[in-house]
Each structure stands twice: as C-alpha cells, then as structure tokens.
Structure 1
Amino acid sequence: MQRAKVNGTELAYVDAGPRDGVPIVFSHSLFFDHTMFDALAGKFTADGYRVVAYDHRGQGESAPAPREELAVDVLAEDAAALIEHLDLAPCHVVGNSLGGFVALRLAARRPELLRTAAALGSSAEEEYKLAEFAPLVDHLTEHGTADVVDTVMYIMFGDSSLAQESSMTSTWRAAIARLEPRIGDAAHGVIHRGRIVEELAGCRVPVLAVAGSEDHAYPPPISSVNIADAAGGRHVTVDAAGHSVALEQPEAVAEHLEKHFATAERS
C-alpha cells in the first residue's frame, strides 16, 4: 500500500487504474478496511476509472490514533485532505456505513471536491441505537472482538449472507475476530457522531443512498429515503443485503453506481 501524510496522520491507500481516469474514492465501514471494496474496485478500474481506496486513521494499515482524534468529522477531514493531496477533485466518493458518514459530510461541507456522493448502508442521523451499542463499544475497548464476533457479524451482515456461510463471510468473520481493543476507540467515534441532516439541505452534490433490505443496523428508511430526502438525492434498496451492502451484493451496487455516475455526468 501507498501512504500519505495528511491532516496530522498517515493514511494507507491503494491507487489503481489509469491516472487520467475519472476518480472514485472508496471509504470503508467500521470493522473493515479498504479491501471490502475489492470487487467494486476491480470492476471500475476495468471500466477505465481511477480508483483510490484507503483505510481510516485508527483502522487497517493507517496510523493509530487516540480516541479524541477518531470523531467522524475528523475522518471526513482526512478524506478531504487525501483527495487534495492526490489531486483527485472532483471525484466520486462511495462510502459504506462509516464511509457513508464521511461521504455525506464531504457532500455537505466540501462540495467542490466531489462529482457525486454515494452512502451505502449508512445514515445522516445521530445514532438511534446508542443505548444498545454503547455497552458493546465498552466491551470492544476492554477486550477486542473475539468473544463478540457473532454479535458484530449480525450487525454488519444480512440474514441471507449469514445463512450462506460463504468464503466472503468466513473471511470477514476471521478478520473481525482478530481486531484489537483499539477498535473500540474507532467505534466510539461512530456511535457518538452528530447528525448531518440539516447541513445537507440544498446540497449541490448528487447523492445516492443505497440500502440493504436486511440491514440490521440502519434499516430502510434510515439508510434510504431519509438520506435522499435530506440531500435532495435518490435512494435504492438492494435485496438480500444487510449493512455491508458493498460486500454482500457488489454487482447490484455497481449497477446502481454506474447509473448514478452517468446521471451526474449528464447534468
């Protein structure tokens, strides 16, 4: 992976596809890393796009950070700084869950950097399950994920994916089980985020909300119509997908993204 020193941290990222291609930036979910977009990245680089997928500070191969530096707003500033560092503007930004929080903040606050934003399995609102998730985050901070991996998998995947026991789910189950207690600090930033609804009013960036029909964390309408209404954008729901819709149904997601990108190019 390549590394960039931006916004007081060091972000690890991959940069693939032609340098003169239209850029897409992929921003990952909590508990995952940039590789959750491997299928989508491969498809779009083959189509001639330049694809950058990075790890958030405090996760994956990026630099560790203390809890106070892991607020979602800081992660959005990191993404903006990376886009500027790599001279990617204007680019498409696609984020799943936490990455969607980042994409929506960029659309609201840094519209000059974006062609479009897509929020997959995400939310524009504050955490409505705070009372449920806070004890889990405390446990993660003390013990890591190993003994709560089933709980995390239920949050992050839909019933169809969990029932199949595929190589995809087994790979990510093993990866999630290995996460160290520092993941609790990243999770704390996620569940204590502020809402972005009001800031999205009058958004100039075309926004697409992609919901999974089986999302246990942010079910429709939270992950679909609520985002679209706030940003004046569009929403779609993907069947047989949960919270990690980019991983669970990459082909369907790719089709929706292609239409989203094309609509923006025509406008």
Structure 2
Amino acid sequence: MSTIITKDGTEIFYKDWGARDAQPIVFHHGWPLSADDWDNQMLFFLGRGFRVIAHDRRGHGRSTQTSSGHEMDTYAADVAALAEALDLKNAFHVGHSTGGGEVVHYVARAKPGRVGKAVIVGAVPPVMVKSDKNPGGLPIDVFDGLRSALVANRAQFFIDVPTGPFYGFNRPGAEVSQGLIDNWWRQGMMGGANAHYECIKAFSETDFTEDLKKIDVPVLVMHGTDDQIVPYADSAPLAVKLLSNGTLKTYEGLPHGMLSTHPDVVNPDMLAFFKE
C-alpha cells in the first residue's frame, strides 16, 4: 500500500493513478468513509487524462487509527503533508461532505502554487450546528443523536444511514442500490470508532467562514436540494456568498450521496469546471 508518514507518525494511505505529469485531482471523502468512495470519479477522470489521488483520512479506512488529531487543523495538515510528499502543483481539490470542509480548511492554508481550483459537494461549510450566529443550523441534539447511535451499535448505525437519508433511499420511488449500502457499511467499519465519534464534532461545529473568505482560487459549490444530511439552505448558498470566486450549481431533488447515485449528472459538470 502507498502511504506517507506525518510528523506525529501517522500513516496516511493514498491512491495515486495516472501520469505523474498530468493535471492532478485530489479527492477528499466524507464521514465515515474512505478513498474508495471516489471509485467512480477516479475512473472517470483517469480515463480523461487526469492524475487522480485520494487518501483515507486519519482514523478512517486504511490509515492509522490514531487516538488524536480528529479535527480540521490536523486533517488539513495531513493533506498538506500529502501534497508536499507528492509535490503537487496547481492541483484541483474535490471534497464531499466532511471532505468539503477539509478542502476549504486546507485550501485556505495551502502554500502558493499548490492549488489551482476546488470543488465542494454536499459540503458542511460554512458551519452546520445551530447557534445565535447560525440560526438556520441543525440543533446540537441532532449531532448528539449521531454520537449516541454510534456508541450504542456502530454496525447497525452504519446500515441505517446509507439505507435511509444518505442516498435518499428513504424517499418514495427511490431506486435502491444494495451495493451502495453494503459498500458504505464496509468502508465505515474499516475505520476507528473513536475517530468517527470525534469527527462528528469536527464536521458539525467547525466554523469555516474565515477560511471561505481567504480562498481566492475558483471554487465550484455543488449541492442537491434534497440533501437530508447537510441541508441545502444553510450550506451551499451561504458558502458561495463568502467566496471571492465561487460558483453555485444546484441539483433539484438530488440527495447527499449524489456523487454515487447520479455520477452521470455530476461528473460532467466537474469536468466542465476543470476545463474552464
């Protein structure tokens, strides 16, 4: 397996496919998944001449199940270490859900020349949890419920999420894919329970407002209106207003996991953005 070792000794697993001199795209997965969640997109862009890279966040997938570092500062530092090790220049960074937060946090801090463009899909910025500053957010009780369900029976919880709201399979007339459900469960159970537990705080309570304001590269913000995990109204439209060079692409009726349920719709839009 390909890995890098960070300053604190954590092994970060990554995939790196394609010609080394091709335009690199780095994919950042959502909670509680792994680089495998990007199989469709990696094959799509590899077939179009890009170099595609995806890593398992610490505590997730095949990376070290660390006891600490499950917050955005460390996640972004791990991405910086990967970019340094692979000497990525002008890379395009694509993040889904929690991975979208990771992208925003990293890009706002990246060394000059490392990042060319970014895409965030169904992403958590600006901030998910409800507060006086974010009255449209989700109550902390929602996230406490996620933590409780994870502690009580992580294996069952990781069946319930993809079977229901993640892919919109709980909607009338939804075309349910058992393969997607099983693969979600497989990826989730590869990771560490402590990492998944602590990451809930990272994705729900981190405020990315200042990060979004700092980013000057072009950013495509993609979001489905039927996202039951990261509600549309309190995320994408607010995030794009904070970006100096942001574009909002809204998908009517599509779910949080639209990268997997509707890649035929989403992938060409990303490709068009990359070719601009």
Same fold (TM over 0.5): yes
Q: Tell me the CA shift for residue 142 of structure 1.
A: 4.9
Aligned to 2:256: 243
Aligned to 1:88: 88
Q: SS of 1:44's equivalent?
A: helix
**CA 1:211–1:168 in structure 2 vs 1: closer, same or farther (change >3 Å)?**
farther
Aligned to 1:175: 186
CA contact (8 A) 2:26 2:91 kept: yes
Aligned to 1:49: 50
Encode CA deviations 1:190-249: one digit per residue, 9 max, x unaligned: 233x21113322521111111022100222233422121111300112245311222222
Aligned to 1:149: 159
CA distance in 2, matches of 1:199, 1:41: 27
Aligned to 1:195: 207
Give the aligned residue type for 2:126: E
CA distance in 2, matches of 1:235, 1:6: 34
**CA 1:162–1:110 in structure 2 vs 1: closer, same or farther (change >3 Å)?**
farther
Query: Which of these residues, 218, 221, 233, is aligned with residue 233 of structure 2?
Result: 221
Structure 1 unaligned blocks of 5 or more: none
CA distance in 1, matches of 2:145, 2:178: 30
Instruction: Confirm whether residue 59 of structure 1 aligns to residue 60 of structure 2.
Output: yes
Give the aligned residue type for 2:109: R
Encode CA deviations 1:102-129: one digit per residue, 9 max, x unaligned: 1111222226221111111013222222
**CA 1:178–1:107 in structure 2 vs 1: closer, same or farther (change >3 Å)?**
closer
Give the aligned residue type for 2:202: G
CA distance in 2, matches of 1:85, 1:25: 13
Instruction: Confirm whether residue 71 of structure 1 aligns to residue 71 of structure 2.
Output: yes
1:96-107 aligned at under 5 Å gives the runs 96-107=96-107
CA distance in 1, matches of 2:96, 2:182: 18
Structure 2 unaligned blocks of 5 or more: 130-137
Give the aligned residue type for 1:25: V
Identity of paired residues, percent?
25
Give the aligned residue type for 1:197: T
Encode CA deviations 1:7-28: one digit per residue, 9 max, x unaligned: 4211111110111100000000
**CA 1:59–1:178 in structure 2 vs 1: closer, same or farther (change >3 Å)?**
closer
Give the aligned residue type for 2:186: A
Aligned to 1:158: 168
CA contact (8 A) 2:2 2:15 kept: yes
Q: Using structure 2 for the length normalisation, give the TM-score.
A: 0.85
CA distance in 1, matches of 2:27, 2:33: 12
CA distance in 2, matches of 1:35, 1:161: 28
CA contact (8 A) 1:27 1:53 kept: yes
Give the aligned residue type for 2:52: V
CA distance in 2, matches of 1:167, 1:149: 10
CA contact (8 A) 1:210 1:223 kept: no
Q: Tell me the CA shift for residue 157 of structure 1.
A: 1.9
CA contact (8 A) 1:107 1:200 kept: no
Aligned-residue CA RMSD (Å): 2.3
Instruction: Confirm whether residue 133 of structure 1 aligns to residue 143 of structure 2.
Output: yes
Q: Using structure 1 for the length normalisation, give the TM-score.
A: 0.88
Give the aligned residue type for 2:89: A
